[in-house]
Structure 1
Amino acid sequence: MALTHPHTTISWREPDKLPLRGTLIVLPGRGETPHVYERFGRRLAADSYRVHAVTAPSDDADRTREQVLGLLAEADPSTPRVLVGSDAGAAYAAYLTALPADTANLANGTVAGLVLAGLPANARTTTGGDSAPGWNDELDLRTACGTHRTKISEAGVRPGDLFGDLPAEWLDPGVPQRITVPLLGIHGANDEVSPVDAARRWYAGAPRAELVTITEGRHDALNDQTHRTVAATVVLFLERLRLGGELAPIATAEQQYSTTAPPVGHDV
């Protein structure tokens, strides 16, 4: 299988004759190539969202920014344009969106929302250093999905890069406060690379953030064994975003009680 060059943009398009519902730009994580997001891209494209995966910002942040700005400029402005980041890609997507308009060129409604998965809450990775795990241990930290383990092993993901430190400015404490667009966070409850408690504190600082934790989920939240549930969660967010920035609910779950039995947890 021919490997995708890490600086090549890959795209998955909506089905023919179906109207475009929005554009997603995926920023990969440390050591990853765009090809890693094929399964995610195909699934979201099937729901009529055009998906592009760009260079990992931990490889070349300037190139990533150039690709993102180019794709945003080309995207249909009548539908939402959303940045989706995983790991370092999540940190960089948030950082770009928080920059002043005259610096990042992402203001004036260009980016309608963010989806951040496995956000590193600290610039320094606690699992790294001289005792960085071997490849099999790294796979365990990334995912419990056998298919995804095979995918990242075949797609040119570089062992050990996951434990490299990130630029401190990407995770400046003021970043979440400066993000004004709606934000969906997806985080594995068992993420040992970026523990969920630290991530919760980061999202608590964003004015319009929703955080979804994935039971028993690991670091590669978009591609873990619960990837179908995660993709559905992303689609629900996108569909609400299409209705406007207030994210009005579309479907509301209601608790139904039996007329013959008391609610669970209530005294008889």
Structure 2
Amino acid sequence: MSLMLKEICEQPVALEQTIQAEQEKVKKLGEFLKTKDIDLIVIVARGSSDNAALFGRYLFEITTGTPVSLCAPSVFTLYNAKLKLKRALVIGVSQSGEGVDINKVLESAKNSGAFTIGITNQAKSSMAKIADETLLTHAGPERSVAATKTYTGQMLHFYMLASALSGIKLGYKKIPHFCDAALKLETEIEELVQRYVFMENCVVVGRGLNYGNSYELALKLMETCYVVAERFSSADFFHGPLAIVERRFPVILFAPSGVTKTSNIDLLKRLKELHADSFSIT
């Protein structure tokens, strides 16, 4: 078993540990933030953490009604801009908590009057020292270069924080169970992916709450399988990018039930007409 697969299999336990250790803290944090005059949420991250942040953006806007911006760290680190964030909640996300540009944004936001939160896997990290409040992903050491259990841990924290801020019960306590059930599909997945062993290019499509996951899967394909993987929203894919699809071109689609189902089915029908090789995750 590879180190990456081993850490993937550790996700149900890591997620459950995070819920048990952090849910009361998140609940109290939510109650405190409701007393502040916050009209903007800013999330700053890089890499896989940035893909988790993209999920967080959709979730916060849907549940709280508060506009969310994904921060461009270079605005702070290269252009030395001073943003007006006095009424903002700024959330930094980093597995190690040592991303220099992420931490610089947190410091600048804090100096401008924003309330800052750090989501990290390292309790003694620089991020934990800078942020007003730290939320930990209790994933244990992540030795694989490709992030897995910390990525899902970060998304879990967005669920818990969104629930605390909105008062909506999001059912996040079921997530470790769902993760465990997904891992039981390993043998089936191994058989399905044999057809893609020689894949060199593909497109990964997702929409809404799965848009960030499309970015993350594409990143994983690039960094672990050396596949050139483009990623799109299913809504955007119809406008221009669909032209790259030819016979047997691989398209991986996040296609859950729910509000995106209709547009996903429309896309699958069009891909069938083009004789693409469609693989749906549902």
TM-score past 0.5 threshold: no
After TM superposition, the score normalised by the length of structure 2 is 0.33
Q: TM-score, normalised by structure 1?
A: 0.34
The structure where helix makes up a greater share of residues is 2
